Structures are given as structure tokens and as C-alpha cells.
Structure 1
Amino acid sequence: MTGPEFQSSQGSDNARSAGTTGGRWSGENIQGTPYGNPTAADQAQAYSAPQGPGNGMPGYPGQYGNAGQPGPYAGAAMYPGYPTPPPSTKKKVVAALLAFFLGGTGAHNFYIGNKGRAIAQLIFLIVTWVIVIVGYSLIIAGTGTEMVATYSGETYYVDEDPDMIIGGGLLAILGYLMMGALWIWTMVEFIMILTSSGRYGRDREGYMLA
């Protein structure tokens, strides 16, 4: 079959093929749109806003409002805050007074429960007083002229010892410097108790000082 009759027959076959395949043949539909290319309706459906209250983000219903602002977390009500612990049986005023008047003995640290620091302060204080007492003893022993009587009745004089006096004076000064350092140490802790700073805001069990 040739000529017009062949062309007419080929056209009718193509039309029947397009009708049975939804308007697509040889990779194209009748209108010439490439096969498998999404239409405008399909694109609108694919990129449409997700459904839900306020068009929220997918997977997070109700988390975002209509304006896109974050709202309260949906599970926040399931995790209430920790209850406030009860106050300590130790009083802040008592600890502060002990630190101000008896700080060198570590009384305030014993009261709060910081036993290690309290023992360190007490030992520091004892060593300081021993150094001061020894220093003054050396000063007294090396000062002035002393008359010594022997069993035979003879007497002689012992002159002062400058080296002993100087050594005793240096020890006494060292003891006073250590006392000053201990006083500064306890005053810092006194301020920390008043401001509830660090370990001085709580007792040994972790409760806030009342």
C-alpha cells in the first residue's frame, strides 16, 4: 500500500495507539509533552503546604504557629521541673558569725560540714601560735644582762645574745604574717557565706543554708 492510502492507514493506526496509551506514543503524547514530565497540577499538589494546625512543619504538629513562630514544645508538660529541695537545718547567720569571730579555728567549716578545710585551718592556727611563742621565748632569753650565782658563791654576768634576739624576732614576724594570711582566708569565706557562693551556699548534704 502506497501513496495517500498508506498515509491514511498509518495515521489511523497512530490515533488508535494514542487512544489506548493515554495519548502517549514513541515517548511523546499527542500534544508533544515529553513522557513522564509532571503537569502543572501535579507540581502544585507536590509542593502544596502540609496539612495540620497552622500549616506546621511535617512531623511536628502544633509546634509552629500560623506566623511560623515556635510555640511551646508539645512534650514540655510531660517533664515538669525538679521540685525545690528543702532548706538546710544549718543557718547562714550562724555560719557567718562563726567565720567572723572564730574563723581561724575552722568553726564555720565544722558547722557547715567542710571538715577537711576546717581541720586545715585549725592546724594552721596551732602552727602559727607555736611559731609566735617560740619567737618571743628566744627574744626574752637573749635580752638583757643576767647575774648567775654558782654553788661556790661566785657570781658572773651573762650578756645578751644578739643572734638569739634576731632569730626570735624573725620567728615572731613570721607567725604574725601567717596570722594575717589566715585572717584573710577566713574573711573570704565569711563573704562567700553571706553571698551563698560556691560550697558556702550549701551544707555537706547539698541543701541551701537557711
Structure 2
Amino acid sequence: MTQRDERALRRQLERYTLRFNDAFWRFWDEQVASVLPAAPVIVDVGPGPGLFLRDLSERLPDATLHGVDANEAMVENARAIDYAGPVPSLVLANVESSPLPYDDGSVDLLTMAAVLHGFDDPFSFLREQAARVLKPDGRMLLFDWFRQPMREYVERRLIEPGEPEETRYERALEQFRVHNKYTLDDWRWVFAESGMRIEAETSEPHPFARVWLLRPE
């Protein structure tokens, strides 16, 4: 594992509960769980170290869980952690440059957390990939960043865990350029242009992010 991979893995492990906190799981219980079948097929795109899949295995013991990630270190960690049920099927692949490795109309829920903002073409992924693999009544759960004032963003990043003190400011500036790509209106336009309808949304889990439950129109 490279030092860069090690730092990225450590950041995701330390910051997991900042994203998937009580507010997130309330949204899940109120808006997502109620529309899933008893034994759903769930694909997490960009599962990172696998903690979200681990939590899903505890909440949904009859679910069939899959993950696909472009980072080998993340996939290795996700395969090694403990799950309440069987280890999810984990695939090493870059879904921005290759198709999602799942059959058409086979997935009840597609999830992505802090991944789509980094794609050069989110429209094609939503319209051609996400919509293809989802069942007719399938949904997509998307957690992603939206644009913030620079001062507010950087000051919060400076107090969050997951980065050594000597590189924290540099990392905050680097992440500001990456995370502040889209406004909320931009995201809504992306969804509309990609044929995705917003069924529910919240900003409670993280002040810089939004969680959307989407459904192909």
C-alpha cells in the first residue's frame, strides 16, 4: 500500500461517522428502508474501506450486497473487515471509464457517497449506467458535496480528524477545489438532465453535503 493510499484509507476510517451519523440513519429509516424489498440487492459505488456495507449487513441481514471501487487498498480493506452476514461481492473497477459490472434491471438500490462530484461526466453515469442497472422500482441514494464559502469550508476542515497537523491546511485547500464543484442548483439540474427525479433529500448529516434519494423517471 502506498503512503497516499494509507492516508486516504485513514481519512475515510476516521471520518466515516461524520457522514454516516444518526441524522443519516434517520433519513435512511424514514425515506429509504421503507421503499426496499425484504431482501434487496444493493450496490455501493465507491465503498472505500467498506464501513457502509458493514453497517448495511447489520441492518439488512437478507440483503445481497455488492461494492465496486477503483482503489485496490480500499477493496482489500473492505474484504478484510467483519460483516454480520456474508462478505459482499467486491469488484476492483473504475466505473467512470467502464460499465457497472451488473446486469440490466438487477439492482434495488444503488448508493454513492462523495464520489460522483469527481466524475468528468456525471450525466452519462446517471443516465446510462445507474438507470440501466436499477430495477423499474429501483432507487439511487446519493451523498455528495455542494459549494460552500471558502472560509467556512477551510475552517471546518482544519478541525476535522484524519489529517496530520503539518498537512492539514494544504489538504483543506486541495479538498476545497474538489468538493466545491457544484451548487445545489447545479446538482438539481444534473439530476433533471439525467432523467432522475428527487424523491427525498436532507442536509442534516453534514453541513457541506446533501443526501438525495433519486429515482429514474
The two structures have a TM-score, normalised by structure 2, of 0.18
The two structures have a TM-score, normalised by structure 1, of 0.19
Greater C-alpha Rg: 1
Higher RCO (C-alpha under 8 Å, 6+ residues apart)? 2
Could you say which structure has the higher strand fraction? 2
Could you say which structure has the higher helix fraction? 1
